[in-house]
Amino acid sequence: MQDNPEFNTPDFNCPLPLHSTDHILMGHGGGGKLMQQLIEGLFLPSFNNPLLNQRHDSTVINLGDTRIAFTTDSYVIQPLFFPGGDIGSLAVNGTVNDLAMGGSRPSYLSVGLIIEEGFPIATLEKIIKSMQVAADNANVQIVTGDTKVIDRSHGDHHQGGLLINTAGIGIVEHSETITPRSIQIGDVILLNGDLGRHGMAIMALREGLNFDSPIVSDCAPLAEPILALLDQGIPIHCLRDLTRGGLASAAIELAEAANVEIELTDDAIPVHDTVRGACEILGLDPIYVANEGRFIAIVPPDTVEAALNILHQFFPQQACVIGHVRSKVPNFDRGYVTIRNTLGIKRILTQLSGDLLPRIC
Amino acid sequence: MQDNPEFNTPDFNCPLPLHSTDHILMGHGGGGKLMQQLIEGLFLPSFNNPLLNQRHDSTVINLGDTRIAFTTDSYVIQPLFFPGGDIGSLAVNGTVNDLAMGGSRPSYLSVGLIIEEGFPIATLEKIIKSMQVAADNANVQIVTGDTKVIDRSHGDHHQGGLLINTAGIGIVEHSETITPRSIQIGDVILLNGDLGRHGMAIMALREGLNFDSPIVSDCAPLAEPILALLDQGIPIHCLRDLTRGGLASAAIELAEAANVEIELTDDAIPVHDTVRGACEILGLDPIYVANEGRFIAIVPPDTVEAALNILHQFFPQQACVIGHVRSKVPNFDRGYVTIRNTLGIKRILTQLSGDLLPRIC
């Protein structure tokens, strides 16, 4: 059974062409299959260059004797404030984390604000101050910026009214090649904490779900633990933060890029009871839900104990092993992810074709 | 008369406090006084650091033996296509030019797309291809990106439907300190071509103005001529591209930062007849209108001839001297810009308090 997962899921191994639809759908921004079509069908062929083709959370560039990581992300979350953060802290931590996933030390951020006419200045002040607190916590400087104002939407005021883009530069101080192509058979998948809190904090707000204790986003900067792993000589093969599309989408992207099977162990994946309950109410699977403070590190098996010891200094009792890298079944044309339940039965995880949770990041 | 310009323009030397209004107005994105309040009243004090405080089009950062320039800009132009370009070519050239204004060689761009649900994929393809052509022309690589989809505006479809942020990294290969603080009394102001074409191309489209030959945007990359000036040893003191707020706003910003008088000569400033006509119809002053391929270079007087010779290779018969840097009247608390007419009479230019032309860049 373990070697015979259910292969014939209808949309497995069958990416739709870019023009399967004439118009942009919410799912084109959702981190799943539609977004992959846009990237593979339009952006990569148009902007074709080796740096872009790295297809990592951040691009590594050699400049003289310095290596930098460079990345960008726009934040369109609604509502702007949520338990555990706001669009400002998210815009700092999200980009800091994309830099950290290249193993770089996040250093400099740009900020592009797009504000709807009529947005309250007091709210803007609150968000700007939150960005500065987040930047201080993550040890980055906001060094350049731009502000644009757009006209108020027709009719009633948009719930949001503020979009933020941040781009970031990190300094790469190590010599590891942290990329999906470095993943090897036998590697172990480590996770730093419980899943689904960011996405479900937003959904609970929107859907008016009340719990005894509210779900608090895990939004946090992740560079320090990763730099600690590297400083202490852990030869990290790959890193990925688990944002849009959650653990499942991140693992599928990596398995496909590395052409391997990533086997996850269902009951090793920590999910808080309240998050699991909220997911059940809304019919969602926590491994597809977005996080803003969670990542997987893929490391060689003989470094797992040392790596967990380091991660436990930052995430006590949370960091854990959740899976392994296996050879894929040979006649498959690309890598895939399986999840094994307590009975040892495995199923293949498929990419979301559309959008699980709109405007959560 | 020359030493006695009309000083008492009501809002000269009198910046309004940030809270003169409770809500964001279109003018907060217009490049004038309201935007300056937002920058000086909120962004600079919150994100306070020496790199941001450079307040230049791009920030220069030392990384090991390499100096880089870093900048960001969001593009919200409506309509998305116009004579001479589209939002895609604008998003590449605008950021390339901000890098060039630091005297750097523009090298790497990030692209953040924010797309409204329902946007036609064929239009997106056209814009992405235009970005790639512009990137090739400007010799930059698009190395990292992000896509977000936002829900369709309530009611009818927004005219635009696409916002683009680009951030850019340039390599600084020279040792000049190109900043407003390097401006010296006696310096000469050079301009590379006629003013107002970008802004008036957009306005003519929107207002349905028809001319025998349509006004074509000047949207173009500007790094090559600036690198040529530097390569050939012109000690450029300062550079500024003349986007939002046009020549007037750029000159006022520089005069204030350098604490000098910048004296412009009215009839030395080239404006195409059609542009002048369109400005007259709409009651606008061409020196406040946005350009996307125009810059001023501020150079020492003994290098003017050599600099013009170089600029004429790129802008035949266009590059010219339009003004000079003078000592300011001593009891003024900040620098200012004057413009002298054919009779030798000078008037002080004031910053726009609001927004001249919404969503033109």
Q: Do A35 and B171 touch (CB under 8 A)?
A: no
Q: What is the mean pLDDT of residues B291-305?
A: 98
**Cβ atoms of A29 and A357 closer than 8 Å:** no
Residues from chain B that touch A120, judged by Cβ atoms under 8 A, are 22-24
Give the whole-number percent of chain B exceeding pLDDT 90: 71
Token pair recorded at residue A53: 């083709």
Rounded to 5 degrees, φ, ψ at B113 are -100, 130
Q: Which stretches in chain A have pLDDT values below 50? A: 1-15, 154-158
Locus of tokens 């990137």: B135
pLDDT value, residue A155 = 42
Which of A315-319, B8-12, B340-344 is predicted least confidently?
Answer: B8-12
Q: A57-71, B79-93, B150-164: which range is least confident on average?
A: B150-164
**pLDDT computed for residue A3 by the predictor:** 38
Distance, C-alpha A66 to centroid of its chain: 26
Which of A226, A203, A243 shows the shortest CA–CA distance to A311?
Answer: A226
For residue B151, which residues of chain A lie inside 8 Å, CB to CB? 26, 358-359
Mean pLDDT, residues B138-148 taken together: 95
Interchain CB distance below 8 Å, B24 and A121: yes
- The three-state secondary structure class of A229 is helix
- List where CATH 3.30.1330.10 sits in chain B: 60-172
Angle between helix axes B223-231 and B87-100 (nearest 10 degrees) is 20
User: Which two three-digit tokens encode residue A146?
Assistant: 């731009």
Query: What is the number of alpha carbons within 13 Å of residue B151 lying toward its C-beta?
Result: 13
Nearest CA in chain A to B21: A121
What pLDDT sits at residue B360? 76
C-beta of residue A225 within 8 angstroms of C-beta of residue A192? yes
Residue B279 has pLDDT above 70, yes or no: yes
Q: Taking a C-beta distance cutoff of 8 angstroms, is the pair B225, B310 a contact?
A: yes
CA distance B276 to A111: 36
Closest CA to B247 of B358, B337, B309: B337
Interface of B with A in 225-284 (CB under 8 A): none
Interface test with chain A among B55, B59, B74, by most A beta carbons within 10 Å: B74
> Between A232 and B354, where is the model more confident?
A232
**DSSP SS3 for A191:** strand
Q: List the alpha helices (DSSP H) in A194-317.
A: 197-207, 223-231, 246-258, 273-282, 304-314
Residue B138 pLDDT grade (very low, low, confident, very high; cuts 50, 70, 90) = very high
The two three-digit tokens of residue B18, written as one number: 């940030």
Q: How far is CA B23 from CA A112, B210, B248, in A?
A: 19, 36, 26
B61 interface with A at CB cutoff 8 Å: yes
Please tell me the distance from the alpha carbon of residue B346 to that of residue B337, in angstroms, as a whole number: 10
A-interface mutation test, from B60, B73, B143, most A Cβ less than 10 A away: B143
Which chain B residues touch A170 with a CB distance below 8 Å? none
Residue A341: what residue type? N
Q: Does A121 touch chain B (CB under 8 A)?
A: yes
pLDDT of residue B56: 74
Q: What are phi and psi of B190, to 5 degrees?
A: -105, 145
Q: Tell me which residue in B22, B66, B153 faces A64 most closely, judged by beta carbons.
A: B66
| Best residue in A109, A146, A153, A157 for a mutation probing chain B (most B CBs within 10 Å) | A146
Instruction: Determine what percent of chain B is predicted with pLDDT higher than 70.
Output: 91
Closest to A26 (Cα-Cα) out of A39, A17, A35: A35
Contact B120 A22 (CB under 8 A): yes
Residue B70, token pair as written in the block: 């870093």
**How confident is the model at residue B6, as a pLDDT?**
35
Evaluate the omega torsion of the peptide bond into residue B286 and state whether it is cis, within 30 degrees of 0. Answer: no
Q: Which long-range contacts does B270-275 make (Cβ < 8 Å, 24+ apart)?
A: B270/B191, B270/B193, B270/B194, B270/B195, B270/B318, B270/B320, B271/B194, B271/B195, B271/B196, B272/B194, B272/B196, B272/B197, B272/B215, B274/B211, B274/B213, B274/B215, B275/B194, B275/B195, B275/B196, B275/B197, B275/B200, B275/B215
Domain B180-349: assigned CATH number: 3.90.650.10
Closest alpha carbon to A341 in A269, A262, A278, A284: A269
Cβ proximity of A271 and A334 under 8 Å:
no
Total residues belonging to chain B: 361
Measure in Å the smallest separation between the Cα of B155 and chain A Cα atoms: 7
Give the SS3 label for residue B71.
Answer: strand
- Residue B51: closest C-alpha in chain A: A143
* The pLDDT of residue A31: 76
Under 8 Å CB pairs connecting chains A and B tally to 270
The ranges of chain B annotated as CATH 3.90.650.10 are 180-349
Q: How far is CA A236 from CA A98, A190, A335, in A?
A: 16, 11, 20
Helix (H) or strand (E) holding B137: helix B121-138
Would you call B132 an interface residue with chain A, using a CB distance cutoff of 8 Å? Answer: yes
| pLDDT score, position B160 | 76
Higher pLDDT, residue B264 or A157: B264
CA dist., res. A27 & res. B147, Å (int): 11
Assign B152 a pLDDT band (cuts: 50, 70, 90).
Answer: confident
pLDDT of residue B354: 66
Instruction: Report the C-alpha gap between B62 and B78 in whole angstroms.
Output: 37
For A153, phi then psi, to 5°, come to -60, 150
- In B78-117, the residues whose Cβ lies within 8 Å of chain A are 108, 110-117
Per the CATH hierarchy, to which homologous superfamily does domain B60-172 belong? PurM-like, N-terminal domain (3.30.1330.10)
Q: What are phi and psi of B87, to 5 degrees?
A: -60, -30
Q: What is the predicted pLDDT for the residue at B7?
A: 34
Distance between CA atoms of residues A354 and A26, nearest Å? 7
Q: Do residues B33 and B351 make contact, with C-beta atoms less than 8 angstroms apart?
A: yes
Q: Which residues of B296-314 are buried (b: 16+ CB within 10 A; e: fewer)?
A: bbbbbeebbeebbebbeeb
The per-residue pLDDT for A6 is 35
> Do the Cβ atoms of A22 and B125 come closer than 8 Å?
no
pLDDT for residue B54 is more than 80: no
Instruction: Specify the DSSP element, H or E, that contains B348.
Output: strand B346-349
Q: Does A63 touch chain B (CB under 8 A)?
A: yes
Residue B63 has its nearest CB partner, among A49, A68, A115, at A68
Residues linked to residue B299 through DSSP beta bridges, in sequence order: B188
B15 or A28: which leads in pLDDT:
A28
Is B135 an interface residue toward A (CB < 8 Å)? yes
Question: Smallest Cα–Cα separation from B326: which of B235, B265, B285, B243?
Answer: B265
